[in-house]
Amino acid sequence: MAAKYFAWKKQKESPLYLLLPCTPNEACHFYMLSKSISSIPGKPLAIILDELEKIVNREVIGWLCKTLDLKPHLSIGITNEPSYIKENIHPIWRRFTESGCLIYAPPPDYKERIHIVHAAARKLKLKIEREEAKKIASITEGYNFPEVVLLFKYSLAQFGVITYETVLQLIKNRIIQPTNTLMDEEKYINDLHPLQVWDII
């Protein structure tokens, strides 16, 4: 949200925003939309690509590189793992170091996760006591806001309540797994194609 606000203030236009991972069709649509906007003379184009470390599909990387080749006025990449991008996704890293900026967004710490727990409860029009929220926050490391909301929805559907014990059981049963950390980094690496810049430009 901070990056989107920054882009809006700088450009006076709402930026195009893409949350990764995405399908090749979504990446293609994003590219065509970017191309259409950038073809209007004088119209600012700001692009935000969130969770860059989740790109593993070669075709998607190609579409995103083409999008950045349109030379937007402002391009921002957000990631939890900048070193992962530099080491494994060379074309994307090269584009951002040439013409954009990368923002490091670390996973939420314990205090931030308490706020996430309360925000997720408010979204579901519920209230969780602070001590209970602290306990839930202690076991949701790696979970982002939408994933905590899903945990709470499953907890309500299966148990009728949201407590530390019910959330812990869902986590142990791997009902919802966190995706904003590279706990499954080995899988990401295995899914990567051997990339050469000239293959997709």
**Residue with the larger pLDDT of the pair 157 and 145:** 157
Mapping DSSP onto H, E and C, the string for 132-189 reads HHHHHHHHCCCCCHHHHHHHHHHHHHHHCCCCHHHHHHHHHCCCCCCCCCCCCHHHHH
What average pLDDT does range 78-101 have in this prediction? 83
Residues 6+ apart with CB under 8 A from 193: 58
Structure tokens at 82: 């900048």
Identify the three-state secondary structure at position 76. strand
Structure tokens at 100: 């954009």
CA separation, residue 168 to residues 113, 137, 141, 161 (Å): 15, 11, 12, 13
Give the chain's domains with CATH numbers: 2-106 (3.40.1260), 110-172 (1.10.8.60)
Q: Residues of 169-187 as b/e, b for ≥16 C-beta within 10 angstroms?
A: ebbeeeebebbbebeeeee
Q: Which pLDDT band, with edges at 50, 70 and 90, does 185 fall under?
A: very low
Q: Are 162 and 130 in contact (CB under 8 A)?
A: no
Identify the three-state secondary structure at position 80. coil
Q: Are 97 and 70 in contact (CB under 8 A)?
A: no
What average pLDDT does range 118-125 have in this prediction? 93
37-79 pLDDT, tens digit each: 888 877 778 888 888 888 878 889 999 999 998 888 888 888 8
